[in-house]
Structure 1
Amino acid sequence: MKPRLENKVALITGGAQGIGGATAALFVEHGARVVVNVRERTAAAEAFVASLGGPDKVLLLAADVSQRSAVDAMVAQAVSHFGRLDVLVNNAGINVFDDPLQLSDADWARCFSVDLEGAWHCARAVLPHMLGQGAGSVVNIASVHGHKIIPNAFPYPVAKHGLIGLTRALGIQYAAQGVRVNSVSPGLILTPLAESVFASLPDPQAERRRQAELLPCKRIGEPLEVAYTVLFLASDEARFINATDILIDGGRSQLYHE
């Protein structure tokens, strides 16, 4: 079977672990050359990238996506190294959950600077290259929080609603020029962050079981299951899919009540 991303170059933000890491590994497996973005270089990130291949296949670049100048420099370096950019996966994000009236101005700004503005910084830097090629695919990692509201999770769902809106607006804006923009909305996925939350609780296994029982499929999702959907949207197989969002939550968000 022909690799699904053969001859394509992808930039994946927050690409060294969790959903981003699973996506980076899957993209390499399917023939892409990949730029893995991290906020800061660490030994773990360098080891992960090294496990995927040499600099002819995978490049590790550090940049804080909330800083437009840093993103611009990263994209310029990526294009200089690989010669083009065909796919952008906006995966970098942070969780900011609070009671709305208890939330500080700093935490509001921090959430939006990464979860929404960070995606826009990356898209704004990459789009001129895609438009120049007449082709490209942007995949934003949104969330079920962009569809359903959980109390005391503010302002994260506001940022993710905004990210889905950004997806639709950019997808329509550039559709006639060969660039597609889509998003995926994962539910509960066993990322390192989710694992750390479970580990912080008095009975981690009991909480895992409780969360799994809330899902129609009775199990928690895995990063690779999200990565396969991102792979599809990034590939030419999805060339008629644009300005849309795909929920990846095991059906949980479709339940009215239990």
Structure 2
Amino acid sequence: MPTIVFIHGLWLHSTSWAPWQEHFAQAGYPSIAPEWPGTPDTVAEARAHPDSIADHGIDDVTAHYIGIIENLDEAPILIGHSFGGMIAEKILGLGHAAAAIGIDAAQIKGVLPLPLSALHSTLPVFKNPANLHRAVSLTAEEFRYGFGNAISEAESHALWQQWAIPAPGKPLFEAAAANFSLHSPASVEVRNSERGPLLLIAGGKDHTVPEVITKATQKQYRHSPAVTDLIDFPDRGHSLTIDHGWREVADTGLAWLKDKGL
């Protein structure tokens, strides 16, 4: 079995993938869930040392994961959430992976829809231009809006306490400027016809990456004959990888991999 590389997004620690790793191991897949560059090994350490997390952009994170992948025996399968989904798309497009699953993947260059809920979710970063070079934490209320709006307030608060860490503001600033930049870090090789299959998963109630963004992302791949599938979970929000319904999303990914001979 190829190795699964789990890639987290902003505001979640890599250890939030632990249930997925156990679940995929039961299906026969070895896996790793590396941290973003500069992020400590535990949630507590990450909260205590936000400066180590700050100022890492999309290209930094992409290069970091490619370096890890190059030490594997074979091209892995990438599973990424939010900005981790974007990173997975970039690495797949560059030919370093056998396949990728992007769950509520962040907006890539060329995607034009920008719903108000997405702007509101990222306001904690954009309200201060200095956050470009800082790590920003979410309050429980901000996490509830951006991640936990489709679950109970009690569950959202518990997830925030368990997994939320500061996140670098730089990737959000880079993604926001993507369509005005010739060589944006948020660019993805969407025309690569030789890449492996890609599955995009959308949450219909996601405030941070609304499903209209995921559907617009799929359209960016229309000029490539490579497989680009989309599966929608109409009642799920941005917390779909960590909340009580994560197993349904994971099983959907496993079924898709089996269907693709992976």
State the TM bucket, normalised to the shorter chain: 0.3 to 0.5
Task: Give me the TM-score of the superposition, normalised by structure 2.
Answer: 0.45
Task: Give me the TM-score of the superposition, normalised by structure 1.
Answer: 0.46
Higher relative contact order (CA 8 A, sep 6+): 2
Q: Give the number of the structure whose alpha-carbon radius of gyration is greater.
A: 1
Report the structure, 1 or 2, having the larger helix content: 1
